């Protein structure tokens, strides 16, 4: 069997050693005679899996005391409702920094529960919509907002924060679905971090929430009990049956990251992959007339989702077809933007990016 280089934005490629271990343990987890899929979530075997995954995640991210780590369901889209339900309390407004399609979705959902203040937006960029992060000094924040919401990495547009914004005493909330575990992060600068697992953590179905303990207990009366952060925390993420198999795979991924050298090593590897691909795009623009073009501002380029277009859109389909014939799949850009999107999360090997860059050069030589 030959595995392809899978550039999917999510669900995304997983580390091969993790998949092989999961396959080996599919029918019998460590002599239990059961698959993890079959275990009681309150039995000793799964409780050990859960505790191990939680411990490894806290260690990887350096989660300080005073924060709860929750394993939930519903995905980041679900959290777009669950976060305001839990954090509004007796306040009525939320500040949003609008940097792309996922920021828009977060704002649209939050508007069902609170007044949304768009404190800054890059939607009207002269170079095209959502090509940068608005400069911090331009943000018009409300000191009475319940929290400030950002999306640390816009999966669709390929725009990423290169800094952690200081928003004063108002809690900072971040959707880190597509950047979590790609580099070290100072959790203490955030009131809440959330993200779907299906990019850098594991299969779809698990959602990670890291929330400051002091923010618990502010849930609106309409908040479903199963999504009340205080209830989830008090019950060890087991108020309802957790996504057991997804948590098991996540634990294996956390161990794999540790074996690679932790988040500092991940950051270095991700920077190398991104630099290789962006260098190829920049050379195309400067040396060969720009068959390939990336529209994202240089200082806001995502390390996880590299988006670009072909100068002649008619060449996009043959470029993608040629990539697939060479074992590179899921490169089509999101339907909102079109073009090409190469998602190069932690588990994407350097060889995959090297293969893509080689195909770009070959295609440009034939069509430039």
Bridge partners of residue 258, in order along the sequence: none
User: What SS3 state is found at 301?
Assistant: strand
What is the CA angle 216-222-224, rounded to 5? 70
- Tell me the backbone φ, ψ of residue 9, rounded to 5 degrees: -75, -15
| H-state helical runs in 96-146 | 101-110
Is the bond into 343 cis (omega within 30 degrees of 0)?
Answer: no
Is 175 designated active site?
A: yes
- Report yes or no: 261 and 89 within 8 Å, Cβ to Cβ: no
Residues 177, 90: Cα–Cα separation, whole Å: 28
| Tokens 């990887």, residue located | 60
What is the CA angle 290-295-301, rounded to 5? 115
Give buried/exposed letters for 231-243 (b at 16+ CB in 10 A, else e).
bbbeeebebeebb
Residues 94, 246: Cα–Cα separation, whole Å: 32
Task: For CA atoms 136, 140, 143, 145, give the dihedral sign.
Answer: negative
Alpha-carbon distances, residue 166 vs 46, 95, 163, 181, 313 (angstroms)? 39, 13, 9, 21, 40
- Report yes or no: 202 and 14 within 8 Å, Cβ to Cβ: yes
Catalytic: which of 29, 95, 98, 102? Answer: 102
Catalytic: which of 199, 212, 255, 273? Answer: 199
Is 139 designated active site?
A: no
Residues 187, 255: Cα–Cα separation, whole Å: 20
Is 282 designated active site?
A: no
Catalytic: which of 29, 95, 98, 175? Answer: 175
**Distant-in-sequence contacts of 309-312, Cβ < 8 A, 24+ apart:** 309/333, 309/338, 309/339, 309/340, 310/339, 310/340
Task: Report the catalytic residues.
Answer: 102, 175, 199
């Amino acid at each position: 069997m030959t595995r392809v280089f899978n550039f999917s934005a999510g669900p995304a490629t997983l580390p091969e050693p993790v998949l092989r271990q999961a396959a080996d343990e599919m029918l019998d987890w460590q002599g239990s005679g059961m698959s993890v899929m079959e275990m009681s979530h309150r039995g000793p075997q799964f409780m050990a899996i859960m505790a191990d995954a939680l411990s490894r995640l806290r260690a990887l991210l350096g989660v300080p005391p005073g924060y709860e780590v929750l394993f939930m369901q519903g995905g980041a889209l679900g959290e777009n409702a669950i976060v305001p339900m839990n954090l509004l309390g007796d306040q009525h407004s939320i500040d949003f920094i609008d940097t792309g399609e996922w920021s828009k979705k977060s704002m649209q959902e939050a508007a069902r529960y609170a007044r949304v203040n768009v404190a800054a937006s890059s939607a009207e960029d002269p170079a095209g919509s959502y090509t940068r992060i608005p400069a911090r000094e331009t943000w018009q924040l409300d000191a009475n907002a319940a929290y400030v919401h950002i999306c640390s990495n816009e999966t669709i547009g390929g725009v990423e924060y290169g800094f952690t914004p200081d928003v004063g005493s108002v809690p900072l909330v971040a959707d880190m679905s597509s950047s979590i575990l790609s580099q070290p992060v100072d959790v203490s600068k955030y009131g809440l971090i959330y993200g779907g697992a299906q990019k850098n953590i594991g299969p779809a179905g698990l959602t990670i929430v890291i929330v400051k303990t002091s923010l618990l207990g502010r849930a609106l009366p309409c908040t479903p009990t199963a999504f009340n952060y205080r209830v989830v925390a008090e019950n060890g993420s087991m108020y309802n049956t957790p996504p057991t198999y997804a948590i098991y795979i996540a634990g294996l991924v956390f161990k794999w990251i540790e074996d690679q050298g932790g988040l500092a090593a991940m950051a270095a590897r991700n920077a190398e992959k991104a630099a290789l691909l962006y260098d190829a795009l920049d050379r195309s623009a400067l040396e060969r007339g720009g068959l390939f073009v990336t529209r994202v501002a240089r200082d806001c380029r995502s390390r996880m989702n590299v988006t670009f277009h072909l100068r002649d859109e008619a060449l996009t389909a043959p470029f993608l077809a040629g990539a697939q014939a060479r074992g590179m799949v899921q490169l089509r850009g999101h339907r909102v933007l079109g073009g090409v999107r190469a998602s190069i999360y932690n588990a994407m090997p350097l060889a995959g990016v090297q293969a893509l860059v080689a195909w770009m050069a070959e295609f440009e030589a034939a069509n430039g």
